Amino acid sequence: MKHEKISIKWRVFTYLLVFTGILLVVLWLIQICYLDSFYTMIKSREAEQVTSAVANILTSDEDDKDTLIHDIAAKNNMAVYVTNTDGDEICSAEYIVNSRLADMPSEQVQYYYEQAKEHGGIFKIEYEGGINPEFWSEDMPEPEDVADGPGFHGSLQKRGQEHIKSVIYVKIVECDGQEEILMVNTQLTPVDATVNTLRIELIWITVIMILLSLGIALLISRQISKSLIRINESAKALAKGDFDVRFEGKDYREVAELSDTLNATAKELGKNESLRRELIANVSHDLRTPLTMIIAYAEVMRDLPGENTPENVQVVIDEAGRLTNLVNDMLDMSKLQAGVMEKNDTVYNLTESIESVLERYNKLKEQDGYCIHFEYDGKVQVKADEYKIYQVIYNLINNAINYTGKDKTVWVRQKISGDKVRIEVTDSGDGIAKEALPYVWDRYYKVDKTHKRAVMGTGLGLSIVKNILELHHAEYGVVSEPGCGSTFWFELKIER
């Protein structure tokens, strides 16, 4: 069945492209759209720092203050202008082409000096182009009245630069008892050539990043999805019944763990499938045998005079009983495994219950020579579902009879240990290999793969035993060695 959803390969590819696109958008916003804002913020902070640094030089005992001021102005590409309160120049270090601090009229210097005094000794003027109208008062001389200097015309910048933003920091510095006016001027608008260079560079960077991101995204998406695609193909084969398929994804830890889990699942499914086929074959054989005998004896009694004897009728009854027991065992096993069988606990005598089970084997002992010994120290009572524990003991004895040795001997022992009673059923058969012991309780499992008709029971007993004992939360197990027979046991709590 095909799904319309996008594959993980193209989803990862899309995510990486979106991430690259977001990076490019952020880069464009910072480098182009918000370049002026960032540049203004940085240059304003630098101008503040330069103003403080020059003020410290002016108030220091340095001999060559002019050189130090020029070095700072040149290093930061700013204009520094120092005058006295009368507007007379003390130091001028202008390292930006649009600075006209040295051409500023003394009236304007005086005006900024007064503004700085009103604002606590430092004053900031931001302007664009020429005169800053926010701080220009009507009582100040008109620009043309003070335009004695060539090219000033009331402007702090040269002609043709009306749209450039600048800032001037005015600070009053007291040196040797005299007040001096410190002005630091810097440009806040990036140079057009710089902006154009950044824009062209960013276009190239964008093209290169897009091409690289396409290649890298395609490579990464293919690498990430490669193992999952292989696992998906193997899973499809598993779904079709190929239990020998292998999952080879080892690229990443999660994928490797998934592969190991699916390999274990495929192995278990293959084992269950094999056991299921064996069970169907065995159960079919066990169902067909009593049915064949019932039909055969019934036809003999019908067709042949004098064959309608009690012995033949008993054979039909025995085979019908065997068939009924097989069906009941299969139903019980299904209910127990589905967890729908209820447990009805009562207090009863376990020893007497075992003795009643053994009475069912009297005919077997008389006809076939089997010997079943029951050993116990004393009678005990337990709280459990009497019928189900009866089934457990009956099935364990049946299993022992089916697999006991040539001496046809089975031992049933009841041992008391503290507040628990232990029931052991031992045969003298060939035993079970150590590596096979964990699986004898498993559904469908058979130690001997060659099917033969059971002497007693249906061959499904141990699976029923396991589920009933787990329903009672009882401990159980098996002790066996090849050539030494087997002992199946379980324990129940004694009811005082």
Cβ 252 vs Cβ 228: under 8 Å: no
pLDDT at 161: 46
423-432 residue pLDDT tens: 999 999 988 8
**CB neighbour list of residue 335: distance below 8 Å, 6 or more residues apart:** 341
Taking the C-alpha atoms of residue 84 and residue 175, their distance in angstroms, rounded to an integer, is 10
Taking the C-alpha atoms of residue 182 and residue 264, their distance in angstroms, rounded to an integer, is 83
Length of the chain: 496
CB atoms within 10 A of CB 327: 12
Q: For residue 33, is pLDDT > 80?
A: no
Q: How far is CA 194 from CA 24, 47, 188, 189, 361, in A?
A: 20, 20, 13, 10, 107
- Min mean pLDDT across 64-73, 160-169, 324-333 is at 160-169
> Which contacts qualify for 327-332: CB closer than 8 Å, 24 or more apart?
329/457, 329/458, 329/460, 329/461, 329/464, 330/283, 330/458, 330/460, 332/391, 332/464
Q: For residue 164, is pLDDT > 80?
A: no
Which segments within 385-474 are labelled E, that is strand?
409-417, 420-427
What is the mean pLDDT of the segment spanning 146-164?
44
Classify strands 409-417 and 371-376 as parallel, antiparallel or unpaired.
parallel
Query: For residue 175, what is the enclosing H or E element?
Result: strand 165-175
pLDDT averaged over every residue in the chain: 80
Q: How far is CA 303 from CA 293, 298, 299, 315, in A?
A: 15, 9, 6, 17
Q: For residue 339, is pLDDT > 90?
A: no
340-388 residue pLDDT tens: 777 889 999 999 999 998 988 887 777 788 899 999 989 999 999 998 8
- Dihedral, CA atoms, 218, 223, 228, 232, nearest 10 degrees? 70
250 vs 480, more confident: 480
- Dihedral, CA atoms, 107, 110, 112, 115, nearest 10 degrees? -130
52-87 residue pLDDT tens: 999 999 888 888 889 999 999 999 989 999 998 888
Beta bridge partners, 493, equal 420
pTM above 0.75, yes or no: no
Q: For residue 448, is pLDDT > 90?
A: no
Instruction: Give percent of the chain above pLDDT 70.
Output: 83
